[in-house]
A = this chain, B = another copy of it.
Amino acid sequence: MGKLLIVGTVAFDAIETPFGKTDKILGGAATFIGLAASQFNIDCAIVSVVGEDFPKKYLDLFTQKNIDISSLKVVKGGKTFYWSGKYHNDLNVRDTLATELNVLADFNPIVPENFKDADVVMLGNLHPNIQMSVINQMEDRPKLIVLDTMNYWMDHTLKELMTVIGQIDVIAINDEEARQLTEEYSLVKAAAKIQKMGPRYVVIKKGEHGALLFHKNKVFFAPALPLDEVFDPTGAGDTFAGGFAGYLAESENISFNNLKRAVIHGSNLASFCVERFGTERIQQLDREEVNQRMDRFKELTKFDIKLK
């Protein structure tokens, strides 16, 4: 059984989509990553920080899912990181309405002793210095370090971000971020440039259009499952990352063929995430419905062509 260490935000989200609106609900990158990863047979811990306003029921949820939260620090008198966003009719576009860092402003991640030998480290989207601090606390070089980041860090802390990118094995970013990071329009060229920066594997997330995995001169494409209802895209990218990293921690195999499977597992779990607000859907997943949907993924791109 492999060990997965997750660092990332645990947060309150308030979300508005064309289909409805929420008050403050459970959110944050590490939350979605952890809930997705908990589908796999692994030891898993979250390193993060919340305020005293963070409900005990959410902490209990992590514990029920067998997620180690001994390094999820609760700051006395502090307030939990809060994000609010509104999606347009085109769910690919969103406005941020509010970002309150609160306790996240002084977050100093402490890796639990029993996870300093984790097999896989999943660095959720955060300040690159926090991500680097986690890497530096590992006793053994993990088998695989996976990085998520975003355009904000490219704009404001590019030097620090490049240091992290030089230390990791897999980067998972969206198409626009890959283009910004490399100044290449072609994703094939962008992925080649990123591999020269450090990561052996480049995952380019395209939301409803699926995800691409690049390694050397090879490429793999995982579609997103076309859904009847897309309700709220919040957390889909993190759920993808959690499924990806969770599967790799369980299987302890980092070949290209196994990373393909990891991308499919990530896409499969992400397809559930968007069907309800926030974590609602992925809190309640059972193995059977996950497996049934995997069968639909297999059918989705299957064809046989015999060339003459």
Contacts and interface: CB of A to CB of B under 8 A. Distances in A.
Nearest to A301: B301
A188 to B, nearest CB: 5
Interface residues of A, number: 38
A138 interface: no
Interface string A273-308: 000000000000000000100100011110111010
Contacts of A153: none
A220 B303 contact: yes
A240 to B, nearest CB: 15
Contacts of A305: 261, 264-265, 294, 298
A214 to B, nearest CB: 8
A219 B301 CA distance: 9
Contacts of A261: 303-305
How many copies are assembled?
Answer: 2
Contact of A209 (B186, B206, B299): B206
Contact of A186 (B229, B265, B301, B307): B229
B210 A209 contact: yes
A305 B257 CA distance: 10
Given A188-B228, A298-B305, A305-B294, A221 B220 contact: no
B300 A221 contact: yes
B303 A228 contact: no
A89 interface: yes
Contacts of A221: 223, 226, 300-301
Contacts of A229: 186
Interface in A193-251: 206, 209-210, 212, 218-223, 226-230
Nearest to A298: B305
A187 B230 CA distance: 10
A265 B210 CA distance: 21
Contacts of A218: 299
Nearest to A219: B226
A195 to B, nearest CB: 14
A271 B42 CA distance: 41
A294 B308 CA distance: 12
Contact of A230 (B186, B206, B257, B291): B186
A219 B300 contact: yes
Contact of A187 (B91, B226, B264, B291): B226
A189 interface: yes
Interface of A: 18, 89, 91, 185-189, 206, 209-210, 212, 218-223, 226-230, 257, 260-261, 264-265, 291, 294, 298-301, 303-305, 307
> What 9 pairs between A and B have smallest CB-CB spacing?
A301-B301, A209-B209, A221-B223, A260-B303, A188-B228, A291-B307, A188-B226, A221-B300, A261-B305
13 contacts: A186-B227, A186-B229, A188-B226, A209-B209, A209-B210, A210-B223, A219-B226, A220-B299, A220-B300, A223-B223, A223-B301, A264-B305, A291-B307
